[in-house]
Amino acid sequence: MPSATDALGTEITLESPPRRIVSLVPSFTELTAALRLGGRLVGVTRFCTDPPEVVNPVRKVGGTKNPDVERIIELAPEIVLANREENREEDVAALRAAGLAVYVGEVRTVEQAREEIARVAGLLGAVSLQQTRPIEQVLEEHEHLNRVRPKVRAACLIWRNPFMAAGGGTYIGDLLRAAGGVNVFETHRGDDRYPRVTLAELAEASPDVILLPSEPYRFGKRHREELLAQHGIAAARAGRVLLCDGQMMTWWGVRTAGALREVGELLDGARPNWRGEQDLELPELPPGLNLQVDRQDTVDQG
């Protein structure tokens, strides 16, 4: 019988690999498709957009913070996939009270992303090597690079008005670390994982690079220009305020290996005199980040 202990310490045991799955997390939805189990999804949130050929036909069950609990119960899933940070405790409790098995995951590091993939794959009765091995390979390469390449002071903003940054204990923060960065907001007053920061604090923190992802706040060209005009900030003076893909930065899972590589390349702009990376060949990632779709594995969508 497939089993796993989730982030809340709850032991999840299923009688057999589930044929009906509800995912309340975009990363879990994408992972399910990558494991060739997309046809078993009977419900996803409206934020679960990838891969579109898998999720578009699947019943939508609200958002991550406001799922339609009654609709989920009616779909009679054998497993509901949730996340400690993205989903609310009261929704998880309501689903469990209705007798549903709910797995609650948590990912705060690149290594935890690899572990989560393997754990959930086992619970779903799938083999995860194609999804975990690229992460292992790229981590190994970057661990070697980090022994020889200069560190880059970096900040990743996730919100505006007020500005908020990824702090310590976050997946984004660990991406920066693994890619050879030093998160200038690793620690902040109040120990907030996503601290509010002012322009003055950005200037004082003196990041060499500022990343502006496209989600959860949709930073764009105008916001980049506004920050570039702040000459008191080192990254602005150097022209290293960079727009980047928000899904890459926040959707852990099958994107993790590519994200680590891309963040490393973004930070390399602040290492102009270093050429050590040219002596190493990073492993080639699987085409399409392994988002295979098994169209024959389908169930009644209810």
pLDDT classification of 239: cutoffs 50, 70, 90: very high
SS3 state at 147: coil
Q: Is the pLDDT of residue 277 over 80?
A: no
Q: 282: buried, middle or exposed (CB in 10 Å: 19+, 13-18, 0-12)?
A: middle
What does the pLDDT read at residue 197? 94
- Residue 237 tokens, joined: 């003076």
Q: Report, as an integer, the average pLDDT of 169-197.
A: 90
Q: Note whether 244 and 183 are same-domain residues.
A: yes
Q: Note whether 144 and 62 are same-domain residues.
A: no
Beta-carbon contacts of 40 under 8 Å, excluding residues fewer than 6 positions away, are 18, 19, 20, 21, 32, 124, 297, 298, 299
- Distances from the Cα of 19 to the Cα of 63, 73, 75, 76, 176, angstroms: 23, 15, 12, 10, 37
> Which among 217, 252, 297, 259 is positioned nearest to 25, based on CA atoms?
252
Of 106, 123, 152, the residue at which a domain comes to its end is: 106
- Residue 63 tokens, joined: 């958002």
Q: Note whether 206 and 96 are same-domain residues.
A: no
d(CA 177, CA 259): 12
Of 90-94, 121-125, 190-194, the least confident: 190-194
Q: Note whether 142 and 101 are same-domain residues.
A: no
d(CA 1, CA 68): 29
Q: Report, as an integer, the average pLDDT of 105-111.
A: 96
Q: Note whether 221 and 261 are same-domain residues.
A: yes
Residue 293 belongs to a domain: no
Q: What is the pLDDT of residues 146-167, one digit of tens each?
A: 999 999 999 999 999 999 999 9
What does the pLDDT read at residue 296? 36
Residue 258 sits at the vertex; the CA angle it makes with 252 and 263, to the nearest 5 degrees, is 90
Which residue type sits at 42? V
Residue 152 belongs to a domain: yes
Q: Note whether 65 and 152 are same-domain residues.
A: no
Residue 184 belongs to a domain: yes
Q: Running DSSP on this structure, what letter comes out for residue 41?
A: E
What does the pLDDT read at residue 189? 66
Q: Is the pLDDT of residue 289 over 50?
A: no
> Which among 171, 214, 180, 8 is positioned nearest to 104, based on CA atoms?
8
Q: Residue 283: is the preceding peptide bond cis (ω within 30°)?
A: no
Q: Note whether 219 and 91 are same-domain residues.
A: no
Of 63, 86, 106, the residue at which a domain comes to its end is: 106
Q: Note whether 171 and 60 are same-domain residues.
A: no
User: Which residue range is the domain that position 235 belongs to?
Assistant: 135-271
Residue 39 belongs to a domain: yes
Count H helices and E strands in the chain, helices first.
12, 11
Which residue type sits at 199? L
Number of domains in the chain: 2
Cα atoms in the 13 Å half-sphere on the side-chain side of 192: 10
d(CA 104, CA 42): 18
> Which among 103, 133, 137, 100 is positioned nearest to 120, based on CA atoms?
103
What does the pLDDT read at residue 73? 98
What does the pLDDT read at residue 236? 97
Q: Report, as an integer, the average pLDDT of 193-202.
A: 94
Residue 296 belongs to a domain: no
Q: Note whether 149 and 266 are same-domain residues.
A: yes
Residue 130 belongs to a domain: no
Q: Note whether 161 and 100 are same-domain residues.
A: no
Q: Report, as an integer, the average pLDDT of 263-271.
A: 94
Q: Burial code of 117-156, b = ≥16 C-beta within 10 A, e = fewer? A: bbbbbebbebebebbbebbeebbebbeebbeebeebbbbb
pTM score? 0.87
Q: Note whether 99 and 168 are same-domain residues.
A: no
Q: Note whether 140 and 253 are same-domain residues.
A: yes
Beta-carbon contacts of 209 under 8 Å, excluding residues fewer than 6 positions away, are 152, 153, 154, 155, 181, 235, 240, 241, 242, 266, 267, 269, 270
Residue 139 belongs to a domain: yes
Residue 71 belongs to a domain: yes
The CATH number covering residue 28 comes to 3.40.50.1980
